[in-house]
Amino acid sequence: MSDDKDNSTFKTDSDNIMDSVDSDSNTKEEHKFGANEIDMDPEERQKREEMKDFDTYLRKVLDDSIVKKSEITCLNFESWFVENGIKHPIKIKYQLGSKPHEITILEKKYQLKELYICDSIKSTRVANLWDLFVGAKVDVFGKPTILKKCCFKTKEWNKFYGAFLKEIKKTLIDEIKKYERKKFDIKIIKDCEGKQQGSINIAMLIKQVTALKEKMAKYRPALSNDIVIAFESLL
């Protein structure tokens, strides 16, 4: 996120994206699959092979972007609990590198190798950075704890990547509508953002974009890949 432009919100013209990829995709889809493979350079062929596991591919693209930007080294969230009418703060620092994560309760700091996200009352799993947002529920020493606030840099991180994924989501939905008239499954089109800043559920957006990309690939496989590659080049 450089100083010479506002990167806090991902902005692009979806129509321009589609103009740049549609004609090329049409040409590819006029040929048989084997001919397409021959025409591709090795890097493009490898990229499209990796896209077959699209969830993994998309997460890697996002992870690589974080490394490339390098300005963000951690995500900072706050929560609290009330005891005897007094509100006690909980601070959670999620490190993006190899350093241990930190939880501070009543001014006492604890270091953790792993932070756990609560998927349900009885189910937890190791969290990664895309699981975290204002409203997410994490395990703090066995107690489910809702992340209630975040710092400015964490808000900007959440806003930027949320906007990037929402733009891909919108583009895919618009394209799929050209081939399908039935209603979309609500799970893949519902809003992933709460009312507070920093509340975009990026992990859910990744799942939605993955499902939409797979749906688009049934009609225009080359175009579905090209849309993603075009957006990827803008990160």
- For 52-108, write each residue's pLDDT tens digit: 899 999 999 999 999 888 788 999 999 999 888 999 999 999 999 889 999 999 889
Other CB atoms within a 10 A radius of the CB of residue 156 amount to 20
DSSP string, 112-129: ES--EEESSSS-EEE--G
SS3 86: strand
Q: Is the pLDDT of residue 34 over 70?
A: no
So where are the chain's domains? 14-70+153-232, 74-150
Mean pLDDT of 36-47: 71
pTM: predicted TM-score of the whole model, two decimal places: 0.84
**Can you give the pLDDT at residue 43?**
77
CB-side neighbour CA atoms (13 Å) of 207: 14
Q: Is the pLDDT of residue 38 over 80?
A: no
Report whether 155 contacts 197 (CB < 8 A). yes
